[in-house]
């Protein structure tokens, strides 16, 4: 699955430039873009997602529109950081969004763990062809009836792991949906047919991916992992 990402694009114009081919010409630059070296989805952060009509800050962890109250919203958010690509059209939480509410999350990398001899070894995974690459996501807006607040939220889709990710994420053998740059505009097109959407939900080519091990500090949620040093390469002899 994908619960932790690496996002360090502080330059607003660079993020806009990266997605200029899929955005309307009237799109304005966001006032603020966050910087995260290590970000856990369980904190439900605001991240810049790319829709067909612009870039917006949405909260990670999709809240379906039919959720009744704040307590239920909090409960379901912990379960909707990811949406399984093979069942996304069937699940009540996701089937409305996958039909026409698809978006992109541009990241610099994501984290997964390899289990070896009962120990967890964190890896940073990136794409060779793009410094910023796109994860396929879905979004939804939920209205808190007690306050009138509108919360815009999203989930990252996942697919079966490719051979590289099978080795790293070797228990669950999943990976986030990574889209080719040529497919980004298709993904966010609300009118794309179900058949074409399903064609895009597939494992990314491992030949364009790179991964390396980092400090085991990434395993500890009690320490500050959101620091530049967290992405430094650390070699473990037992893994070789």
DSSP string, 68-93: -SHHHHHHHHTT-SEEETTTTTT-TT
pLDDT digits (tens, 9 = 90+) for 108-122: 999 999 999 999 999
- Examine the pLDDT at 6 and tell me if it is beyond 90: no
The structural domains of the chain, with segments of one domain joined by +, span: 4-239
Q: What per-residue confidence (pLDDT) applies to 20? A: 84
> How many Å apart are CA 12 and CA 57, to the nearest integer?
13
Q: What per-residue confidence (pLDDT) applies to 23? A: 80
The Cα-based distances of 109 to 4, 51, 220 in angstroms read 9, 20, 19
pLDDT digits (tens, 9 = 90+) for 20-37: 888 876 655 565 666 788
Q: Which pLDDT band, with edges at 50, 70 and 90, does 9 fall under? A: low
Q: What per-residue confidence (pLDDT) applies to 50? A: 93
> How many Å apart are CA 50 and CA 178, to the nearest integer?
14
- Examine the pLDDT at 181 and tell me if it is beyond 80: yes
Of residues 8 and 200, more confidently modeled: 200
Distance of CA 16 to the CA centre of its chain: 18
Q: What per-residue confidence (pLDDT) applies to 129? A: 93
Which tokens hold the place of 77? Answer: 């958010």
Tally of CB atoms within 10 A around 117: 7
Q: In the beta sheet, which residues pair with residue 39?
A: 5
The Cα-based distances of 163 to 93, 115, 117, 209 in angstroms read 30, 16, 20, 11
pLDDT digits (tens, 9 = 90+) for 119-164: 999 999 999 999 999 999 999 999 999 999 999 999 999 999 999 9
pLDDT digits (tens, 9 = 90+) for 45-69: 889 899 999 889 899 999 999 999 9
CB-based contact 127:95 (threshold 8 Å): no
- Examine the pLDDT at 11 and tell me if it is beyond 80: no
Q: What is the pTM of this model?
A: 0.94
> How many Å apart are CA 119 and CA 198, to the nearest integer?
36
CATH superfamily of 4-239: SOS response associated peptidase-like (3.90.1680.10)
Of residues 2 and 101, more confidently modeled: 101
Q: What per-residue confidence (pLDDT) applies to 15? A: 78
Please give the share of the chain, as a percent, with pLDDT higher than 90: 77
């Amino acid at each position: 699955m994908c619960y932790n990402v690496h996002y360090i694009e502080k330059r607003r114009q660079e993020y806009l430039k990266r997605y200029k081919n899929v955005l309307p010409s009237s799109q304005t630059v966001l006032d603020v873009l966050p910087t995260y070296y290590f970000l856990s989805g369980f904190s439900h952060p605001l991240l810049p997602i790319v829709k067909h009509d612009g870039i917006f800050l949405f909260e990670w962890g999709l809240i379906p529109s039919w959720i009744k109250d704040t307590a239920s919203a909090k409960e379901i958010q912990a379960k909707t950081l990811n949406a399984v690509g093979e069942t996304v059209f069937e699940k009540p939480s996701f089937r409305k969004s996958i039909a026409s509410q698809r978006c992109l999350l541009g990241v610099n990398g994501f984290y997964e763990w390899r289990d070896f001899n009962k120990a967890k070894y964190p890896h940073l995974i990136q794409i060779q062809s793009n410094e910023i690459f796109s994860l396929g996501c879905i979004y939804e807006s939920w209205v808190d009836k007690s306050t009138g607040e509108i919360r815009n939220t999203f989930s990252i889709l996942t697919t079966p792991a490719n051979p590289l990710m099978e080795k790293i994420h070797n228990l669950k053998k999943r990976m986030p949906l990574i889209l080719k740059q040529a497919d980004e505009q298709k993904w966010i097109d609300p009118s794309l047919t179900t058949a074409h959407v399903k064609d895009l939900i597939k494992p990314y080519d491992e030949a364009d991916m790179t991964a390396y091990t980092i400090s085991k500090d990434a395993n500890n949620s009690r320490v500050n992992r959101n620091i530049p040093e967290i992405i430094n390469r650390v070699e473990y002899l037992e893994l070789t």
